[in-house]
Amino acid sequence: MEFICGVDDAGRGPVIGPMVIAGVSVSEKNLLKLEELGLKDSKLLSPKQRNEFYNKIITIVDSYKIVIIPPSLIDEHLFSKESNLNILEAIKFSEVINSLRPTKAIVDCPSTNIPEYTRTLRSFLKYDVQLKCEHKADFNYKVVSAASILAKVTRDKEVEKIKKEIGFDIGSGYPSDPVTQEFLKASWKKYPEIFRKSWATYKKVAGPKEQSKLGEF
């Protein structure tokens, strides 16, 4: 039996919290059931709709895998001269595909250079799978829309966990969010583990303060 897998990310851009990669694998029979749900890219859905779809998706798909990537690992790759965010995603995409072992995998490509990204991702795969990397795959393929929803719901839950643990509203975690901006200014040093220190937004706030401290000695 052939299985088709969709893989997508959520939380690529935030300065706070993890990035999440999700993959779903379905047989052709269950793909029809998935398509009948009327799925959309997670960004086009309300939080309530995403949660409702999440619960339906996990009962329809044959298997799924979710990988949570903490800020520390993101920073490790971005501060490295040998890696970057696209390579980290390729490693984690491959982790999902290698685990689910579908016949065909469709990936929402984060890079502008699709052929190069496809080669990079394939280099991390442990078996010969039909691989399709495409822009807007989460919009064009329901199996990738499903992965997108799983990733987004999981990312939102992780943000809620952070809010509960520290007792503050951190906003969405995205640099453009005014609530996130204010929280970053006030708490960048108090909760270092939740921030992506490689982000320009973080460096802009922490950099001058760190430099001024060095000048005091």
Q: What is the CATH number of the domain that holds 101?
A: 3.30.420.10
pLDDT confidence of residue 208: 58
Q: What is the pTM of this model?
A: 0.92
Tell me the backbone φ, ψ of residue 83, rounded to 5 degrees. Answer: -135, 180
Cα(110)–Cα(102) distance, integer angstroms: 21
pLDDT confidence of residue 100: 98
pLDDT confidence of residue 45: 82
Domain count, the chain: 2
The CATH number covering residue 203 comes to 1.10.10.460
Residue 6: which of 25, 20, 21 has the closest Cα? 25
Pair (176, 113) in one structural domain: no
Pair (59, 150) in one structural domain: yes
Pair (153, 204) in one structural domain: no
pLDDT confidence of residue 46: 86
94 inside domain: yes
213 inside domain: no
215 inside domain: no
pLDDT confidence of residue 207: 79
Pair (44, 104) in one structural domain: yes
pLDDT confidence of residue 216: 32
For residues 59, 102, 143 and 124, what is the CA-based torsion angle, rounded to 10 degrees?
A: 120
Q: Which residues of the chain have pLDDT under 50?
A: 210-217
Pair (105, 26) in one structural domain: yes
Write out the residue range of the structural domain in which residue 189 sits: 166-208
175 inside domain: yes
